[in-house]
Amino acid sequence: MVMSAIKETIAPHGGQLINRIATAAEKAEFMAQADSLPRVTLDRRATSDLVMIAIGGFSPLQGFMEQKDYENVVDNMRLVNGIPWSVPVTLSVSEEVADPLKEGSWVRLDDPNGKFIGILELTQKYHYSKAHEATHVYRTDEDKHPGVKVVYEQGPVNLAGPVWLLERDAHPLFPKYQIDPAESRASFIERGWSTVVGFQTRNPIHRAHEYIIKCALEIVDGLFLHPLVGATKSDDIPADVRMRCYEIMMENYFPQQRVILAINPSAMRYAGPREAIFHALIRKNYGCTHFIVGRDHAGVGDYYGTYDAQHIFDQFEPEELGITPLKFEHAFYCTRTEQMATSKTSPSKKEERIHLSGTKVREMLRRGELPPPQFSRPKVAAELARAMKISS
């Protein structure tokens, strides 16, 4: 197949893949002024957001949101220009940090370790309501919700404007799986994939995941297996453990020629339905035409209805989002048929169904129990057990 004859089947969100990685000349100019610029130290989430903006994962965003975009996203899930966008992307700081900063100036952005990694062209600084953001984006004002807790703990002033990432460093843990949107799009073209389904998870892969992934693979050309490795809750399984589990699945249980495993460097918000839209748009920017939305996508606790993350897609016209959600019911292990199924495919009764979840797997591991084969593939379960013993 001739590569030049193959064209991308899906445009980035907003029509253009954003690139905010500094050129050599821009970097030299920024570095020359590094010591004279005011500094803002980013936390882990803001660092991930800077990277995602720069590589085009958050296209059409070119920087942290100005007030009008921020308010419209919080209230209406749209940017001011009408483009759907469901989660605010902001840089929040304290009054003490914000006060001396002047709009129209450059601000040096350092990572949590104090390394100079980016530049913000400060176009605006503004106050916002944390409670309003919490109740609209997360559907609760309870600070025990991990996403709300982050909002309440961050500064009361948002800094806005275009950003530059000085350079794209290799990921410290997973350099071979660092595939940015321009590269994933090129890879899909090279493989001749015109339809690609993206899969998102922050949990170790279990049998229910495998089932819905393979169902999706039946109707598309390829799978973009894209686990999140940015900031997550402290009780989530560490990213390196989860990645080893994905490698085991790739080596033993997936058709390797039809799957690409890559890392998603963004941070979790735990915003449930809104984050399902957010995750779909990110995968659209990576070149996916379809996106798997399962039970309680990006949820936490009991804050969201079981299928709210699927229903929210109905609030948009399909062409507005530009990526097709594949909505799956809650998968379980059916003891009658001795295989994975959903209520659409299984004749079993409630007592014949073993429901799986990342939460249950984590609870079993903490008790020192090995997840049974109905939960996890034995090799995956062994890896999880080994890692949990090491960490405990």
Indicate if the pLDDT at residue 9 is higher than 80: no
Q: What is the pLDDT of residue 375?
A: 84
Q: Which residues are catalytic?
A: 202-203
The model's confidence at residue 372, banded by pLDDT at 50, 70 and 90, is confident
**Least trusted range by pLDDT, from 63-67, 163-167, 293-297:** 293-297
Domains of the chain, first to last: 24-165 (3.10.400.10), 176-391 (3.40.50.620)
Handedness of CA 153, 54, 315, 358 (dihedral sign): negative
**Strand (E) or helix (H) holding 64:** strand 63-64
Q: What is the mean pLDDT of residues 268-289?
A: 97
Q: Which residues contact 350 (CB under 8 A, 6 or more apart)?
A: none
d(CA 287, CA 184): 7
Beta bridge partners of 81: none
Q: What is the mean pLDDT of residues 120-138?
A: 98
Encode pLDDT of 211-241 as tens digits: 999 999 999 999 999 999 988 887 778 889 8
Q: What is the mean pLDDT of residues 15-19?
A: 98
C-alpha distances (whole Å) from 15 to each of 9, 60, 132, 285 are: 12, 8, 31, 10
Q: What is the pLDDT of residue 355?
A: 83
196-199 and 91-93 strand pairing: unpaired
d(CA 363, CA 369): 9
Question: Pick the residue with more confidence: 371 or 3?
Answer: 371
Indicate if the pLDDT at residue 82 is higher than 50: yes
State what percent of residues in the chain have pLDDT above 90. Answer: 78
Q: What is the pLDDT of residue 114?
A: 96
Q: What is the mean pLDDT of residues 203-211?
A: 87
The model's confidence at residue 133, banded by pLDDT at 50, 70 and 90, is very high
Residue whose structure tokens are 């001795």:
338
Beta bridge partners of 109: 40, 118
Single-letter amino acid code for the residue at 233:
K
d(CA 250, CA 261): 8
Q: What is the model's pTM? A: 0.93
Indicate if the pLDDT at residue 4 is higher than 50: no
Q: What is the pLDDT of residue 390?
A: 57
